Amino acid sequence: MPALLSPSVATASALPDPQGTAAMAVSFQNLGRSFGTGHGAHTVLREVSFDVQAGEIVALLGPSGCGKSTLLRAVAGLDTPSTGAVTINGTAVSGIDSRCAVAFQEPRLLPWKSIAGNVAIGVPAGANAARTREVVERLVGLVGLSEFAGHRPREVSGGMAQRASLARALARNPGVLLLDEPFGALDALTRITMQDLLLDVHQAEPTTVLLVTHDVDEALQLADHIILLGPDGTGAPGATIVRTVEVPGPRPRDRASTALAGLRSSLLASLGVNGH
């Protein structure tokens, strides 16, 4: 089963070399987003304000459809907020922002390029061919797809495509890394391996990471801060920040720690899940 990762793949020796952009601070200033106009208008995000320090990992949690992807898109400059603004390192985002790299919620691979070719798109322009090949080869290996480097996206499984999309984002070595549920389609083992990979990459090159996830455990393992989006209970339309949590302890964290278990229950309760 070449598609399977042996847990030893993501060792630090195989990490991307530290040549990327320095990590950048991201600030949301009173961000709001509505879709449609007039009668059919509906507000998705409202008065979202928070700052992410350079090099931090921030996890975004929230119910399905609350606007997490929309928030990430605003950072990348793929969506224009209706109100407020996002700034990266103090300058406002307007239009597609080259300081970011995105792993979209769906893999969005080019069907006519191989897995390796798709990952190569992530490599910043200006890299020469040899260096591009080297980066691609390493990252494809790190996400466990070496044997499938030449396959087309339609010839790999859903989880494999997701990993290719992650590799493409990592190849960019960006100031801000935006990950929209990057491990959603992965089995338990591969998921842990990929989480470790992300942490290794982050340690070698402490970039700013905004991570959307539905997995509270994952957020607790990876993030410095967790932000909970959702309706604030005032009845005002749209989601906003309902809670922020600072996760204690250095990474890697003990998945069995009681402090985390308490936080976990508390976060789940905030998400509306009780007693599990």
Partner 1 sequence: MAVHSGAAASTATNASPKAGSAIFARSWTRLGLGLILPVLILLAWQLSTAAWVFSPVQLPSPRAVLDAGTELIGRNELFNHVAISTQRVLIGFLIGAVLGLSLGALVGLSKAADVLLGPTIGALRAVPSLAWVPLLILWMKIGEDSKVTLIVIGAFFPVFTTVSLALRHVDKNLVEAARAFGLKGLKLLTTVQLPAVVPAIFSGLRLALAQAWLFLVAAELIASSMGLGFLLTDSQNNGRTDRLLLAIVLLAILGKATDALLGLAEKWAVRRWS
Ligand X SMILES: Nc1ncnc2c1ncn2[C@@H]1O[C@H](COP(=O)(O)OP(=O)(O)OP(=O)(O)O)[C@@H](O)[C@H]1O
The size of the interface with partner 1 (CB under 8 A), counted in residues, is 46
Q: Which of 48, 197, 216, 267 touches partner 1 (CB under 8 A)? A: 48
How near is the Cβ of 276 to Mg ion at its closest, in Å?
A: 23
Q: Which of 16, 58, 68, 123 touches ligand X (CB under 6 A)? A: 68
HEC readout, the chain: CCCCCCCCCCCHHHCCCCCCCCCCCEEEEEEEEEECCHHHCEEEEEEEEEEECCCCEEEEECCCCCCHHHHHHHHHCCCCCCEEEEEECCEECCCCCCCEEEECCCCCCCCCCCHHHHHHHHCCCCCCHHHHHHHHHHHHHHCCCHHHCCCCHHHCCHHHHHHHHHHHHHHCCCCEEEEECCCCCCCHHHHHHHHHHHHHHHHHCCCEEEEECCCHHHHHHHCCEEEEEECCCCCCCCEEEEEEEECCCCCCCCCCCHHHHHHHHHHHHHCCCCCC
Q: Which of 62, 153, 175, 182 touches a copy of itself (CB under 8 A)? A: 62
Q: Residues 96 to 135: which contact ligand X by CB under 6 A?
A: 105
How near is the Cβ of 198 to partner 1 at its closest, in Å?
A: 18
The answer to whether residue 226 forms part of the interface with a copy of itself (CB under 8 A) is no
Report the C-alpha gap between 255 and 87 in whole angstroms.
34
Six-digit token pair at 52?
């992410």
The answer to whether residue 157 forms part of the interface with ligand X (CB under 6 A) is yes
In the bound state with ligand X, the residue whose beta carbon lies nearer, of 44 and 201, is: 44
Residue 241 interacting entry, from a copy of itself, partner 1, ligand X, none, C-beta within 5 to 8 Å by type: partner 1
Residue nearest to ligand X as judged by C-beta position:
159
Six-digit token pair at 27?
């600030």
Q: Which residue ranges make up the site for partner 1 (CB under 8 A)?
A: 28-30, 32, 47-53, 56, 58, 76, 78-85, 96, 98, 100-102, 104, 106, 108, 110-112, 121-122, 124-125, 154, 168, 172, 224-225, 240-241, 244, 246
Which residues of the chain form contacts with a copy of itself (CB under 8 A)?
Answer: 1-5, 7, 35, 42, 61-69, 105-106, 155-160, 163, 180-181, 184-192, 214, 216, 230-231, 237-239, 255-256, 268, 271-273, 275-276
Binding site for ligand X (CB under 6 A): 3, 35, 44, 62, 64-70, 105, 148, 155-160, 185
